Structure 1
Amino acid sequence: MTTRKEFLKTAGLLGMAGIVSPVIAGTVKERPSAASTSWADGSRLVVSVSMQFEAGGQPQNAESPFPQNMVKGFKDFPAETWYQYGYKEGIPRMLDNWDKLGIKVTSHMVGSAVLKNPALAKEIVQRGHEAAAHGRDWATQYTMSYEEERKFIKDGVDAVKDITGVTPVGFNANWLRRGENTLKILQELGFIYHIDDLSRDEPFIIQVNEKDFAVVPYTLRCNDIQLVAGQWFSTDQFLNQVKMEFDQLYEESAHKRRMMSVSFHDRIGGSPQMVKATNELFRYIKQHPGVVFRRKDEIARMALSDKNTIRE
């Protein structure tokens, strides 16, 4: 079967496509044509799992499965219990599932949620998972001034560090909506990667403040808040969609570096039915040779240290 690279080479379009080198300064720089398709650790395909720790940090009357028809000035008590499920049941159940599967994940933690549930935040780290940053709260950071946003990000980092003892090196903005200054601030604060990007199925490197900075792409296609809470997928539909995503990426990984991202949120992905579906899905994935599960900080460091990583 002819690959895209072989087709472009045969058609004399390889240089135009930017696969060997960019034609015009500033275009995307692809990896060298002789680069290995496998990862630096020898794996064939890397699976990146997110476990968002947000519950408890949401604003009053935040979006929920309940109709958004609350009379102004009154508190939405049932919606609050939906969020409480995330830290009372959801994350503990997911943590047990990750142990059964023998995998480690990345937990993007909202600072105010961590401060309200410190024991749970500590447990996540103690069980070997990555504590990454997700802002101080659910504020809209892209409207902030440089100084306001820097404090907003740092406050979230400090909350995670003070409770868990770990300084986050990865960042996720609320609904991925970063601002013009976000990446510059992250680089200044010592972060090495962000995930607010949907443009590739593998990590890549960009220049921020004239330094390398990793992008570990996120997902909406394999995301419980988008599919289950947003489109009311059944667990069977979710399982089938993510399985098909894996099958296609695994096929591509025979000749191209691939990463699969899957995202779970505390109050959604931690439900009994979703954990059961996830266990079945990941056991299926683990049966395939060359597949590994990696925390996002591990993926970012692999990408930054590998000369074959795509640069943009």
Structure 2
Amino acid sequence: MSSRRNFIKQTGIIGMVGMMNPIDTFAEVSKTSSFLSPPKTKWADGSRLVVSISMQFEAGGQPDNAESPFPQNIQKGYIDLPAATWYNYGYKEGIPRMLDNWDKLGVKVTSHMVGTAVLKNPELAKEIVQRGHEAAAHGMNWSTQYTMPYEEEKKFIKDGVDAIKNVTGFTAVGYNANWLRRGPNTLNILQELGFKYHIDDISRDEPFIIQVKNKDFAVVPYTLRCNDIVLIEGKNFSVDQFLQQAKMEFDQLYAESETQRRQMSVSFHDRIGGTPQMVKAANDLIRYMQQHKGVSFKRKDEIAEIALHDKTTIRE
């Protein structure tokens, strides 16, 4: 923000003085000012570009007649049984396939887990953690969180955390609200419950720090641009289109990362990203990224830790 103010201030001076002697004025400013170049930043661990992968573990926690690829015309009083099988695919095939893929690629991811999905599929939840991935909280179920009173929301979040802890032994320190729609009390509750970060923010391409209850709290930005539920299900992208968009995102961020701290996020959902074609696309995408020097793959809890301990992290 200060560099932007300096830019406005200095361009104002140029505008006034430059009319009198424009050539000399610009020559003098170029010697003394670097306002045209943003300050150089880098990752504290030496990475050039950090890639953050999300694996949403939601299947089994959805309500009856949840949104699916099937027409939303089920008659009132009936359960959409075929749609339920679409969700079942997520824990029967999707996550196991993705886990094998992450192992082959040597990357660790963050799995945002719905509490009821964990309780219905405890062995799979444990396997995710046992394979070295992060278990992050994603609410107890798919209830609308932002309408809840403070204590009700606090219980809703804590119940999801407890489900993960009791099943996997992992204490979640990161949070993702359903469709990112947190409420006015959510961050205060997260700080109170001991969380370190949340991801319900798409305003930057690098982590940053905010103040919650007068304490530092990390934001590890999420993505809608490289997100299978948005592109594949929402916009009917082909797998090739998804892969091309993600590659283009990577190429631009990698170029920027020569002088600026950059993070790329990619999101996969159990019943979408776990299909054979999408796992193949993910494999191709990550192998492409791994060909570039300085690219590292980190869990979101690791990114949050780096951000919280780096004095150069952006503060808002």
TM-score (norm 1): 0.90
Which structure has the bigger radius of gyration?
2
State the alpha-carbon separation in 1 of the partners of residues 139 and 10 from structure 2: 47
Answer whether contact 1:143 1:179 (CA < 8 A) is retained. Answer: yes
Match of 1:12 in 2: 10
1:38 corresponds to 2:48: no
Match of 1:263 in 2: 267
Shift of 1:193: 0.1
Q: Counterpart amino acid of 2:184? A: E
State the alpha-carbon separation in 2 of the partners of residues 283 and 254 from structure 1: 20
2:56 to 52, 57, 63: 52
Q: Counterpart amino acid of 2:10? A: G
Q: Counterpart amino acid of 1:293? A: F
Match of 1:118 in 2: 122
Q: Counterpart amino acid of 2:276? A: P
Q: Counterpart amino acid of 1:46? A: V
State the alpha-carbon separation in 1 of the partners of residues 121 and 45 from structure 2: 36
Output aligned runs, 1:138-157, within 5 Å: 138-157=142-161
State the alpha-carbon separation in 1 of the partners of residues 311 and 234 from structure 2: 39
State the alpha-carbon separation in 1 of the partners of residues 101 and 276 from structure 2: 11
CA deviations over 1:60-92 (Å, ceiling 9, x no partner):
000000000000000100000000000000000
State the alpha-carbon separation in 1 of the partners of residues 74 and 88 from structure 2: 19
Match of 1:84 in 2: 88
State the alpha-carbon separation in 2 of the partners of residues 311 and 118 from structure 1: 38
1:184 to 180, 183, 188: 188
Output aligned runs, 1:133-212, within 5 Å: 133-212=137-216
**Count of residue pairs brought into register by the alignment:** 290
Answer whether contact 2:41 2:312 (CA < 8 A) is retained. Answer: no
Question: 3-state SS of the aligned residue for 2:265?
Answer: strand
Change (3 A) 1:135 1:13: farther
CA deviations over 1:31-82 (Å, ceiling 9, x no partner):
xx99652201000100000000000000000000000000000010000000
State the alpha-carbon separation in 2 of the partners of residues 109 and 9 from structure 1: 44
Q: Counterpart amino acid of 1:230? A: G
State the alpha-carbon separation in 2 of the partners of residues 10 and 137 from structure 1: 48
Shift of 1:202: 0.3
Q: Counterpart amino acid of 1:44? A: R
2:67 to 63, 72, 75: 63
Q: Counterpart amino acid of 1:226? A: V
Shift of 1:9: 5.2
Shift of 1:205: 0.1
Match of 1:17 in 2: none
State the alpha-carbon separation in 1 of the partners of residues 301 and 128 from structure 2: 15
CA deviations over 1:193-234 (Å, ceiling 9, x no partner):
000000000000000000000000000000000000111111
Shift of 1:173: 0.1
Question: 3-state SS of the aligned residue for 2:314?
Answer: coil
State the alpha-carbon separation in 2 of the partners of residues 83 and 34 from structure 1: 46
Change (3 A) 1:13 1:79: farther
Match of 1:222 in 2: 226
Answer whether contact 1:104 1:294 (CA < 8 A) is retained. Answer: yes
Q: Counterpart amino acid of 1:115? A: L
CA deviations over 1:74-111 (Å, ceiling 9, x no partner):
01000000000000000000000000000000000000
Match of 2:306 in 1: 302
Q: Counterpart amino acid of 2:62? A: Q
Name the one with the larger helix percent.
Answer: 2
Answer whether contact 1:35 1:308 (CA < 8 A) is retained. Answer: no
CA deviations over 1:220-251 (Å, ceiling 9, x no partner):
00000000011111110000000000000000
Answer whether contact 2:129 2:135 (CA < 8 A) is retained. Answer: yes
Match of 2:103 in 1: 99
Write out the 4+ residue segments of structure 1 that deviate beyond 6 Å after TM superposition: none
State the alpha-carbon separation in 1 of the partners of residues 39 and 248 from structure 2: 27
Answer whether contact 2:191 2:217 (CA < 8 A) is retained. Answer: yes
Share of identical aligned residues, percent?
76
Match of 2:315 in 1: 311
> What is the RMSD of the two structures over their aligned residues, measured on CA atoms?
1.8
